[in-house]
């Protein structure tokens, strides 16, 4: 199994997971042309995808899903709450998923799990091929016992490090947006991410990637430092998903 990012951040998100002959795109917050270019950078065409799974209805995650799915006849899987809030899925084959029930897509098993975020019915996912498991957690305001239990034992983890608390407090956002971002239904702060990682760290955890790093309220260096301290490694050994380039294929 391997995975790669089209880009990660408030301007658009997309993550491709591949097992055997099956490739699934998690979220698509980019326009049709941009999505095609970013997939090509990974050696893929849109038609190589088996499906798109969606975490929630915010535009940086679902904004490009409808156009990509319609043009290339890709099925879309998402929760009932996300579907209720989506506004560009006409003509798309949609399957509603249970936020607690795993499902199979050919060579991939996918486990959704609910997260605290200011959306209708947001989820994140664990992807598995029968031997290895990749956990993804972004767009969550805090950790929960259920999140910890679901991500326990994963072999690789894409983990949100959205903001630094001091930078957010002293940054340009209005007070209301600061409360939203830093609240229990907002986004994970570096220290929160590090604390959660400390609970998930185990000897088989081979790769951790910091994701959804804010351009205004964080830096890649701060995100790396927070996670490296938990992993007992050098800062530059921690990978960071960037907005413009995402990251290239990583094998699990």
Each residue of 33-80: pLDDT tens digit? Answer: 999 999 999 999 999 999 999 999 999 999 999 999 999 999 999 999
Q: Which of 194, 171, 191, 247 is nearest to 8 (CA)?
A: 247
Residue 110: strand, helix, or coil: strand
The per-residue b/e assignment along 198-213, b for 16 or more CB within 10 angstroms, e otherwise, is eebeeeebebbbbbbb
Report the pLDDT averaged over residues 237-248. Answer: 97
- Listed by start position, the domains of the chain span 2-247
With pLDDT > 90 as the criterion, what percentage of the chain qualifies?
100
Whole-Å CA distances, 232 to 116, 151, 195, 213, 228: 29, 20, 14, 21, 6
pLDDT digits (tens, 9 = 90+) for 103-139: 999 999 999 999 999 999 999 999 999 999 999 999 9
pLDDT bin (cut points 50, 70, 90) of residue 148 is very high
What is the spatial distance between Cα 249 and Cα 223, in angstroms, rounded to a whole number?
21
How much is the pTM? Answer: 0.97
| pLDDT at res. 162 | 98
Q: Which of 54, 59, 101 is nearest to 81 (CA)?
A: 54
| Amino acid 99: pLDDT | 98
Q: Give the percent of the chain with pLDDT over 70.
A: 100
Tell me what pLDDT residue 85 has.
98
pLDDT of res. 188: 98
At 150-187, the pLDDT tens digits run: 999 999 999 999 999 999 999 999 999 999 999 999 99
CATH 3.30.470.20 fits 2-247, yes or no: no
């Amino acid at each position: 199994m391997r995975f790669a990012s089209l880009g990660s951040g408030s301007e658009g998100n997309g993550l491709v997971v591949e097992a055997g002959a099956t490739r699934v795109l998690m979220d698509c917050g980019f326009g049709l042309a941009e999505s095609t270019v970013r997939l090509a950078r990974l050696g893929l065409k849109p038609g190589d995808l088996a499906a798109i799974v969606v975490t929630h209805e915010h535009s940086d995650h679902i904004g490009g899903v409808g156009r990509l799915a319609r043009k290339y006849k890709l099925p879309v899987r998402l929760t009932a709450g996300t579907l209720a809030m989506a506004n560009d899925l006409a003509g798309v084959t949609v399957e509603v998923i249970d936020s607690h029930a795993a499902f199979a897509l050919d060579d991939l098993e996918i486990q959704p799990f609910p997260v605290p975020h200011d959306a209708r019915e947001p989820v994140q996912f664990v992807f598995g091929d029968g031997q290895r498991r990749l956990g993804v957690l972004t767009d969550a305001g805090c950790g929960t016992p259920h999140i910890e239990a679901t991500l326990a034992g994963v072999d690789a983890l894409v983990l949100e490090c959205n903001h630094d608390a001091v930078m957010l407090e002293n940054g340009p956002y209005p007070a209301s947006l600061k409360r939203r971002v830093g609240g229990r239904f907002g986004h994970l702060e570096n220290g929160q991410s590090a604390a959660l990682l400390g609970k998930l760290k185990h000897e088989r955890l081979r790769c951790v990637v910091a994701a959804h790093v804010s351009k205004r309220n964080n830096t890649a260096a701060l995100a790396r430092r927070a996670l490296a301290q938990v992993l007992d490694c050098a800062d530059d050994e921690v990978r960071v998903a960037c907005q413009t380039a995402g990251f290239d294929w990583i094998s699990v």
